[in-house]
Chain A
Amino acid sequence: MNLTLRIWRQSGPEDKGRMVKYQVDDVSPDMSFLEMLDVLNERLILAGEEPVAFDHDCREGICGMCGLMINGDAHGPQRGTTACQLHMRQFSDGETIDIEPWRARAFPVIKDLVVNRNAFDKIIAAGGYITAPTGSAPEAHSVPVAKANADSAFESAACIGCGACVAACPNGSGMLFTAAKVTQLSLLPQGQPERYTRVIGMVDAHDEAGFGGCTNAGECTAVCPKGIPLTTIGRLNRDYLAATTKQGDTPGT
């Protein structure tokens, strides 16, 4: 396959940035999208040019590092797939592919296609944990969990924090990420003591980080590589409403 790429190049946070055109020939349809970028980078290095910076780690679709806006789709055209698991057979010979970084005020560009997702860490630090003492795993039967709750919690726990929800959201909102983390803990017994301070803290941290507000447009769930359902946002809303009317919850989170 021969492809034309238009890639966002930005040398640093202060640079204005621009789309630059590259020609990549002899791309195998069996390559992953990131391998195709590796091929381009090798050629750029041989030609003495600066390679394209992009985030990646496991390349197995579970670490959440990779994240590219490919032709206006977060993680590309295939649903439920991260960019590293996307194969070039999803594209056709001679196609022009636009590659951009996630666009959000809360995710400033560090270089080229790499963005700083520290804002997600701040949301987690505001309540995405339990303060119960940890240690060796307890006997599984000592704390019963309803199967339906365990399944829903697991579904939310599949979130890899890649930021595709923010990238796709017409409002630049990180509500699907926040809701997935809130849901995961609020459905399990271990998450109950801090349930209501958690949701307030995490939503406040979300808003403070400069994300937009949710309007239930549903773009996030359409692009989520882990298929986190939009219903998690309903669970967050319900916890939030309960939290604003509840008094005397665990302070200090």
Chain B
Amino acid sequence: MAVTGILLVLFLIAHMLGNLKIFTGATSFDHYAHWLRELGAPLLPNAGFLWIQRVGLLAAVLLHIWAATVLALRARAARPVRYAHRKKVRGSYAARTMRWGGVIILLFVIYHILDLTTGTLNPVGDPARPYANIVADFAPERWYVTAFYTLAIVALGFHLRHGVFSALRSLGQQTPRGEQRARAVALAFAVVLCAGYLVVPFAVLTGLVS
């Protein structure tokens, strides 16, 4: 859970920084997207780096889901008779919603790939012009796309709030002061990442990026 989660988090950071290039203008953003395809050339073929990354990420996602499924099945088996009176998990809202939050994120990732990688569900869908794809995607009349995007990113934020702390604990974080720090880092990281991802659709929605 922890190791695959950290790999995915590293990708999330890189992806967010890449997204923020949208504020540098269409030419610069499109250039960045094309550069990603050429990365590693001439050692790697065209889009070679991207395919290595995709295979790595897919493996990480599958292992992450597999570990989560094993934990969920074990949890279910460990309590065959349910409580008649059960309080909600008090630890945090984030800890309580890890599993369903993960499902929302997975559904979003599938949609997101069909939308902005393959272009199937995008109104423009031109792989050569990613800037135009994004602007068309988050246009005010397609508010439901922005709404789903926001829901998924907020779910991701909650997922990271518990996930980052939990990963640090799984890898051996063991002092009380370190626990406070780990929780603070997890919260700050989740908020920054949420903000970094949400600023793009809302910039398009408000006309800041057009």
Contact = CB atoms under 8 A, between A and B. Distances in A.
B91 interface: yes
29 contacts: A6-B84, A17-B81, A69-B85, A71-B85, A98-B85, A105-B77, A105-B78, A105-B80, A109-B81, A170-B96, A213-B70, A213-B74, A215-B98, A216-B169, A217-B89, A217-B95, A218-B90, A219-B89, A219-B91, A229-B176, A230-B179, A231-B175, A234-B172, A234-B178, A235-B174, A237-B169, A237-B170, A237-B171, A241-B172
Interface of A: 6, 8, 17, 19, 69, 71-73, 98, 100, 103-106, 109, 170-173, 210-213, 215-219, 222, 229-231, 233-235, 237-238, 241
Given A170-B89, A231-B175, A235-B174, A211 B78 contact: yes
A241 B171 contact: yes
B172 A106 contact: no
B83 A171 contact: no
Contact of A100 (B83, B173, B174, B175): B83
A213 B82 CA distance: 17
Contacts of B178: 231, 234
Which interface residue of A8, A109, A219 has the most chain B CB atoms within 10 A? A219
A207 to B, nearest CB: 8
Given A229-B176, A230-B179, A105 B79 contact: yes
Nearest to B170: A237
Contact of A212 (B71, B98, B165, B173): B71
A222 B91 contact: yes
Contact of B78 (A69, A212, A241): A212
Contacts of B83: 69, 72, 100, 103
A186 to B, nearest CB: 10
A212 B84 contact: no
A210 B98 CA distance: 22
A212 B74 CA distance: 5
Interface in B76-109: 77-87, 89-92, 95-96, 98
A231 B90 CA distance: 17
Q: Which of B71, B85, B90 has the most CB of A within 10 A?
A: B85
Contacts of B70: 213
Contact of B84 (A19, A171, A216): A19
B110 to A, nearest CB: 24
Contacts of A103: 79, 81-83
Contacts of B162: 216
